Amino acid sequence: MAGPEQVDPRTVGLETWLAEAGRRPEWTHGLINPPVHRASTIVFRTYADYLAASAQPDRGMTYPTRGTPSSWALEEALTGLEPGAAGTRLMSSGLAAVAAALLSVVKAGDHVLVSDSVYDPTRRLCNGLLKRFGIETSYYDPRAGAEIAAVMQPNTRAIVVETPGSLTFEVQDVPAIAAVAHAAGAVVIADNTWATPLYYPALSRGVDLSVHALTKYVCGHADGLLGAVTANARCWPALLATCLDLGQCAAPDDATLALRGLRTMKLRLDQHDANARAIAAWLEGHPAVTRVIHPALPSHPDHGLWVRDFSGAAGLFAIELVPMPDDALARLLDGLKHFVMGYSWGGYESVILPVRPEKLRTAVPYARSGPMLRLHIGLESVDDLNADLAAALARAQQR
């Protein structure tokens, strides 16, 4: 059958891998893309086929929660993006992926260290469900590198990093944290949604389990909900077993949308990056903006770490404004023409969100003097977006 044989990601350029990954002839059956396999029943043609499938349930078509070519193609594509990966499992959402990664490593009596900058639902998971099952969590300063050794406990089983934090954008020294974790036998779990493996190969930085909300840049069009965990060889067997125990799987339609998104992801991400940096630099000169919090700006306190470890920046950053009353903030937000207000990001569209990170912190207080806005810069014209923001800032300042 025509089509690329299984491509080895180490032998081709990144762009080629993004274009060809997952297109195995036995999965595509002569189509260019693997089709959407909507299925609950997988049919065994003979008793011998049934016995063979049951003996190796993860090797082929056995039961759709274990996967079909719709999910395998995306899993294989994602695994190939992370040097050092042993496998990837898809989940129904990014949060489900965070949960599966954690549940695959902890047991009752364990302790988990979580960055104080973490995605808030991860905090709820740790303080609620994990606590109920006898797992304690403490939160650490996201700017701790090797000093994290001081807060390690004999039963610390996992360290959760999110670099940069998706509200406050502290860049973490993951290689230093991983050295401490591994010396103590602990596992490092990274939420790598912001940079994606394209800009941050997490496993190469010392991470064992790399979590992705595919909902964001991989799907890329604000129309899918999907998560994934990519694991190294040490963590892969337990991750796979945990996903099977939890019945974790992804909808074939969403997996297909994500694979489609992956084909253009590098182009989109590079454009998000360029647009966001242009707007961030412009905002830095605006009198109503006291601080632009973007790791690729030299003014960012962790800029050096970002330069060392990342090859690009996402379109998501934050700004702090001069102090203003709430009705001024309402005027700013309510008249926007191009930015929409919402929580999710990573689609083609520009999104704005007022954020209050100080309400979430428990390890290190977060200080700010004026309103803080998180911006996701989409693929619209930079001039239109700047004009939208300029008008919004002017509305906020009119009496």
Ligand X SMILES: *Cc1c(COP(=O)(O)O)cnc(C)c1O
- 3-state SS of 37-98? CCCCCCCCCCHHHHHHHHHCCCCCCCCHHHCCHHHHHHHHHHHHHCCCCCEEEEECCHHHHH
Residue 142 makes contact with ligand X by CB under 6 A: no
Residue choice 79, 156, 196, 215 for contact with ligand X (CB under 6 A): 215
Relative orientation angle of helices 236-246 and 94-103, to the nearest 10 degrees: 120
| Nearer to ligand X among residue 214 and residue 396 (C-beta) | 214
Please state the separation of Cα 307 from the chain's center in Å.
19
- Phi/psi-derived region of residue 351, left when phi > 0, alpha when psi is between -120 and 50, beta in every other case: beta
Among the residue ranges 60-68, 100-108, 180-188, 210-218, the one whose residues contact ligand X (CB under 6 A): 210-218
CB 237 to ligand X: min, Å: 24
To 10 degrees, the CA torsion angle through 358, 146, 169, 292?
90
Relative orientation angle of helices 252-263 and 265-284, to the nearest 10 degrees: 70
Residue choice 27, 72, 119, 199 for contact with ligand X (CB under 6 A): 119
With contact defined as beta carbons under 8 Å apart, do 378 and 347 qualify? yes
154-183: contacts with ligand X (CB under 6 A): 166
Q: How far is CA 79 from CA 8, 84, 86, 156, 228, in A?
A: 11, 9, 7, 27, 10
| Nearer to ligand X among residue 9 and residue 224 (C-beta) | 224
Residue 27 makes contact with ligand X by CB under 6 A: no
Tell me the β-bridge partners of 340: 351
Residue choice 79, 88, 93, 117 for contact with ligand X (CB under 6 A): 93
Among the residue ranges 61-69, 141-149, 208-216, 360-368, the one whose residues contact ligand X (CB under 6 A): 208-216
Residue 99 makes contact with ligand X by CB under 6 A: no
Tell me the β-bridge partners of 291: 320
| Nearer to ligand X among residue 7 and residue 98 (C-beta) | 98
CB 219 to ligand X: min, Å: 9
Among the residue ranges 90-98, 267-275, 303-311, 319-327, the one whose residues contact ligand X (CB under 6 A): 90-98
Tell me the β-bridge partners of 159: 113, 188
Q: Which three-class secondary structure state does DSSP give residue 165?
A: coil
The pairing of beta strand 87-91 with beta strand 227-231:
antiparallel
Residue choice 61, 190, 225, 259 for contact with ligand X (CB under 6 A): 225
CB 351 to ligand X: min, Å: 11
| Nearer to ligand X among residue 353 and residue 393 (C-beta) | 353
**CB nearest ligand X: which residue?**
94
Residue 220 makes contact with ligand X by CB under 6 A: no
Please state the separation of Cα 166 from the chain's center in Å.
9
Among the residue ranges 37-45, 107-115, 209-217, 389-397, the one whose residues contact ligand X (CB under 6 A): 209-217
Residue 69 makes contact with ligand X by CB under 6 A: no
The contact set with ligand X (CB under 6 A) reads 93-95, 119, 166, 191, 193, 213, 215-216, 225, 227, 344
